[in-house]
Amino acid sequence: MDTQQRAVIALTGLAGRGYHGVLADERQTGQDFIVDLELVVDMPSADEITETVDYGELATTVVGIVEGEPVNLIETLADRIVSAVLKDQRVQSVTVTVHKPQAPITVRFDDVAVMISRSKHD
């Protein structure tokens, strides 16, 4: 039985400009992408930043992925973010939501988003 305490770290509304999509215009013009993260991490044993996930560093990493190499699908983008987050041994699981609020849809809409959840045990 696992007695380790866990904490949830949430980051919402991380924004970056990316050139993701299947349409040529998306690749040339780019658009804003918004990312939400929810991480389950081992609870720190001490009151030290080195004992937990540095969410400032994590935010920089995530925005770097959004602003980095273009992909066709936001599913792929979300998967890249999940993989990067899970590299930290303290992260037990993560849910990533990538929002594409300027998606090329011809009808009125509020948001398009893809959510991926994964744990170390998957």
What is the rounded CA–CA span in Å between residue 94 and residue 115? 10
What is the rounded CA–CA span in Å between residue 44 and residue 83? 22
Angle at 43 between CA 41 and CA 48, to 5 degrees: 110
Question: Tokens standing for 44?
Answer: 């720190």
Is residue 100 annotated as a catalytic residue, yes or no? yes
Identify the residue whose tokens are 């590299």.
87
Q: Which of 20, 80, 99, 100 is catalytic?
A: 100
| Active site members | 100
